[in-house]
Amino acid sequence: MVSKTSRRAFLGTIGGLAVGVLAACQQAPAPAAKPAESKPAEAPKPTAAPAAQAPAQQAPAIVPPTAAAKPAEAAKPAEAPKPAAPAADAKPTAAPAPAAKMSPKRGGELRIVQINDFVSMDPIHASGPTATSVYESLFAWRPNAQGTYGVEPMLAKSWDLGTDKLVIKLRENVKFHDGSDFNADAVVWNISRMVQNPKSFARNYLPQVDKEKPAQAIDPLTVQINMTRPSAAILSSLSDSISNTLIVSKAAAEKNGEEWLKLNPVGTGPFKFVSFASGDRLAVEKNPNYWQMGEDGKPLPYADKATYRVIIEASTQFTEMRAGTADWISNVRGRDVAAAKAIPHATYIESAFTGVKRQYFFNAIKPPFQDNLKLRLAIHHAIDREAMAKALGAGLGIPLPYELVPGSIGYDTSVPFYEYNPDKAKQLLAESGVTLPFEVRLTAHNREADQQQAQFIQGMLEKVGIKINLDIVERVAWGEKVRINNDFEMATRQSGVVTDPSQDLLITWAEGGNSAYHRAKVPGLLDTLQKADTEYDEKKRHQLFVEAQKLMHESAWFGYMWFENGNFLVHKRIQGFPAGWGSLREAEWWINE
């Protein structure tokens, strides 16, 4: 009863609290106390498909891809294009330079922080981050000694890529975490569900696989994947640069049902699943029976545990890094880069792998842009890419007038683009026949960066006499308006970097149906893109992609603005961080403390 309450009691409580707080303040937060794990979840892309790219500070390195050596060389010089990163650039700015060659120490917990929440532990349903350290792919996407990226063995020991099939010899003595064998049977089951499950996202990356009979087992350790056409991209699609094609335990699915897989990942990877709390964290621990050996001859991984913590608020994850309670974060914003570089216990690494391309496009089947080339050109000429990259990228941005990024196969400065020329823009606008002042609705996401960019575009177009009405909508509403209902005039989007241009271009430029965006019909473009995929000769591929970009340019449906580099911050106690494409390779990290 309140009657006993007195001022003394209250003051006592306050006093007690004050003492408690003061005492708390004396201790620095223990780093181990909060497991903070990060995953390379690239915000925009459902699958991590980073490009090897020189950091923004250096001139974009354009090195024509070279064929990487493949074990078990096949007659065809097959190979997915490897956006080559010159050796020097394989380690972008401020990469951790291992002073002396230290031997890896074992033990400890990796605290990774990721900015996007997990969607599903089952890779084919993962339109966002998934438990990539629990699984593995058939191939690994790695740079060779010269720094050129290519496919290397992982669960596949050797392979033979033909024009209508891909035959893979599997690694022996690999087991899934549930004890079942990794064999051809399991792989066939995996490939089948990748292309046959109606909700699978892996289908987007395997359009060339025969849906009727995707794969068959030749013998317990040999798999044949049936293709409907030759495809250079198939190898990289099945590599660890694409998280949807990770290999899952068939036995686990049969025992518990496929639904169970969505919350319980069972793979062959270096870490085993411990627990998952959506919106909070994923906890994994080391797989004692992992097949890959470390430098000391014992199985990887070096670390004992790893925790992936979800922190969606950018400033919070950055603060965690500064406080020293996180080992890895990504997507530090441009304005925070200076502060990031100043963190004494962290290393700042830029990587185009997780960068985003920023583009806009018009609605090709509705007015006002349908049939009005001059109007589209007017807008293209009114965009000042340099100013955008500088103002919006805040040090992380480079202007990019093409679809493909430097380092990618097909990137070529001979491809034409529309230069910034406001006078020409005004003239074209006048010639386009629309009534002035002309109003256009621009549909953009409500992400901070997109909003900023949209307003920037608004300001630029206003200078040439076009009034932009901003339609800022949240992600789902954007998807509905633009892709499902085709209810837009002009829209912006950001797109991740893929290992092979055919992986996303065939989808983006689909004339309808698929992830349709602008739904333009550009004669010859899809054929060219398809030819580029079926062509195994590097030089010819490059030319075909150049050709495709020229066609895209002439059609003027897409506007290419700028490219924002991705970045990571890695705690200095972490050694062995690869800073490369493909998966994070947490198995190779070790803690130096």
Partner 1 sequence: MREYILRRLVSMVPVLFIVSLISFALLYVLPGDPAIAMLGENAGTQETYRNLRREMGLDDPLVVQYGRWLWRTVNGDLGKSIRTGEQVADVLARRVPTSMTVGLAGLLFGIVLGLSVAIVSALRPGSKIDMIGTFMALGGAALPSFWQALLFMYVFAVMLHWLPPSGYTSPLVDPWLSAKMLFMPAVVLGTHSAAVIMRQGRSALVEVLEQDYITTARSKGLRENAVVGAHALKNAMIPIATILGLQVGNLVSGAAIVETIFAIPGVGRAAVDAIFFRDYPMLQGAILILTFAAIIANLLTDLAYGYLDPRIRYR
Partner 2 sequence: MANEASRTGGAVAVVSERAGQRRTYGEEEGSVSHRVLTRGRRFLSNILETRLVGTGLWILAIVVFCALFADLIAPYAPNEQDYLAITEAPTAAHLLGTDDLGRDVLSRIIYGSRISLMVGVIAVGIALILGVSLGLLAGYAGGTTDDVAMRIVDAVQAFPGLILALGITAALGPGIEKVMIAIGIVATPAIARLTRAQVLTIREREFVAAARVIGASPLKIVGRHIWPNVTAPIIVQATLLTATAILTEAGLSFLGVGVKPPTATWGSMLRTGSQYLEVAPWLAFAPGMAIFATVLAFNFVGDGLRRALDPRLLSRRRG
Question: For partner 1, which residue of 161, 223, 505, 516 counts as binding (CB under 8 A)?
Answer: 516
When the beta carbons of 263 and 472 are compared against partner 2, the nearer one is 472
Secondary structure of residue 235 in the 3-state scheme: helix
CB-nearer residue toward partner 2: 249 or 453: 453
Among partner 1, partner 2, none, what binds residue 106 when CB lies within 5 to 8 Å by partner kind? none
Among 38, 47, 347, 359, binds partner 1 (CB under 8 A): 47
What contacts 134, CB < 8 A, 6 or more positions away? 121, 177, 265, 266, 267, 269, 271, 272, 273, 284
Asked if residue 319 binds partner 2 (CB under 8 A), the reply is no
Task: Name the residue nearer to partner 2 (CB basis): 67 or 314.
Answer: 314
Q: Which residues pair with 276 in a beta bridge?
A: 282
CB 194 within 8 A of CB 202: yes
- Among the listed residues 62, 251, 323, 387, the single contact to partner 1 using CB under 8 A: 323
Task: Establish if 507 lies at the interface with partner 1 (CB under 8 A).
Answer: yes
- Per rule CB under 8 A, is residue 355 in the interface with partner 1? no
Q: How far is the CB of 332 from partner 2 (least distance, A)?
A: 12
Residue 128 contact among partner 2, partner 1, none, beta carbon within 5 to 8 Å by kind: partner 1
Neighbours of 301 (CB within 10 A): 28
315 binds partner 2 (CB under 8 A): yes
Span of 138-146, 442-450, 520-528, 533-541 interacting with partner 2 by CB under 8 A:
442-450
SS3 217: strand
> By CB under 8 A, what part of segment 469-498 binds partner 1?
473-477, 479-481, 483-484, 493-496
Our CB check for partner 1 shows the closer of 197 and 455 to be 197
Cβ 267 to partner 1 shortest distance, Å: 18
214 upstream amide cis, omega within 30 of 0: no
Residue 270 to residue 584: CA distance in whole angstroms:
12
Q: Which is nearer to partner 1, 29 or 459 (CB)?
A: 29
Give the DSSP letter string of 393-454.
HTTSEEE--SSSPTTSTT--TTS--PPP-HHHHHHHHHHTTPPSSEEEEEEEE-SHHHHHHH
Q: Which of 93, 190, 325, 363 binds partner 1 (CB under 8 A)?
A: 325
Token pair belonging to 473: 């909508």
Choosing among partner 1, partner 2, none, which partner's interface includes residue 115 (Cβ < 5 to 8 Å by kind)?
none
Query: Which CB atom, from 471 or from 538, has the smaller least distance to partner 1?
Result: 471
Stretch that binds partner 1, among 80-88, 142-150, 379-387, 513-521 (CB under 8 A): 513-521
Tell me how far apart the alpha carbons of residues 180 and 476 are, in angstroms, rounded to a whole number. 40
Residues 208-247 within binding reach of partner 2 (CB under 8 A): none
Cα→Cα distances 190→203, 214, 225, 359, 490, Å? 12, 10, 11, 34, 39
Cβ neighbour number for residue 101 with a 10 Å cutoff: 6
Give the largest CA-CA distance in the chain: 93
**Contacted entry of partner 1, partner 2, none for residue 133, CB cut-off 5 to 8 Å set by kind:** none
Instruction: Determine if 364 is a binding residue for partner 1 (CB under 8 A).
Output: no
**How deeply is 197 buried, as exposed, middle or buried, from its count of CB atoms within 10 A (0-12, 13-18, 19+)?**
middle
Based on CB atoms, which residue is closest to partner 2, 335 or 521?
Answer: 335
Q: Among partner 1, partner 2, none, what does residue 5 contact (CB within 5–8 Å per kind)? A: partner 1
Check: CB of residue 378 under 8 Å from CB of residue 490.
no
Question: Which position among 34, 157, 333, 374 is part of the footprint of partner 2 (CB under 8 A)?
Answer: 333
CB of 420 to partner 2, least distance (A): 12
| 198: contact with partner 1 by CB under 8 A | yes
Cα 12 to chain centroid distance, Å, stands at 55
Q: Rounded to the nearest whole angstrom, what is the least distance from the CB of residue 8 to partner 1 in the complex?
A: 6
Question: Please, which residue, 50 or 334, has the CB nearer to partner 2?
Answer: 334
- Binding flags for partner 2, 384-413, as an x/- string (CB under 8 A): x--x---x----------------------
Q: Which range, of 4-12, 65-73, 531-539, 568-576, touches partner 1 by CB under 8 A?
A: 4-12
Tell which residue, 473, 357, 347, 496, has the closest CA to residue 41.
Answer: 496
Which amino acid appears at position 348 of this protein?
Y
DSSP state of 40: -
Half-sphere exposure of 480 (CA within 13 A, CB side): 5
> Got the DSSP string for 262-324?
TT----SSSEEEEEEETTTEEEEEE-TT-SSB-TTSSBSPSSSEEEEEE---HHHHHHHHHHT
**Binding of residue 483 to partner 2 (CB under 8 A):** no
DSSP 350-396: EEEEEEEEEEEEE-TTSTTTTT-HHHHHHHHHT--HHHHHHHHHTTS
Measured from the CB atom, the residue of 26 and 173 that comes closer to partner 1 is 26
What does the buried/exposed string (b/e) look like for 319-345 if buried means 16 or more CB atoms within 10 Å of the residue's CB?
A: ebbbebbbbbbbbbbbebbeebeebee
Which residue, 98 or 459, is less far from partner 2 as judged by CB?
459
Q: Which of residues 453-482 bind partner 2 (CB under 8 A)?
A: 454-456, 458-459, 470-474, 477
Site for partner 1 contains 443 (CB under 8 A): no
560 binds, among partner 1, partner 2, none (CB under 5 to 8 A by kind): none
Which is closer to partner 2, CB of 108 or CB of 324?
Answer: 324
480: CB partners within 8 A, 6+ apart: none
Question: Least separation, in Å, of the C-beta of 282 and partner 1?
Answer: 11
Tokens of 495: 């797109």
Residues 263-322 interacting with partner 1 (rule: CB under 8 A):
263, 277-280, 309-313, 315-316, 319-320, 322
* CB closer to partner 2 out of 163 and 446: 446
Per CB under 8 A, the list member of 146, 228, 413, 515 interacting with partner 1 is: 515
24 contact choice in partner 1, partner 2, none (CB below 5 to 8 Å, kind-dependent): partner 1
CA triplet 140, 143, 146: central angle to 5 degrees?
A: 150
Pick one of partner 1, partner 2, none as the site partner of residue 45 (Cβ within 5 to 8 A by kind): partner 1
Interface with partner 2 (CB under 8 A)? 314-315, 333, 335-336, 338-339, 384, 387, 391, 446-448, 451-452, 454-456, 458-459, 470-474, 477
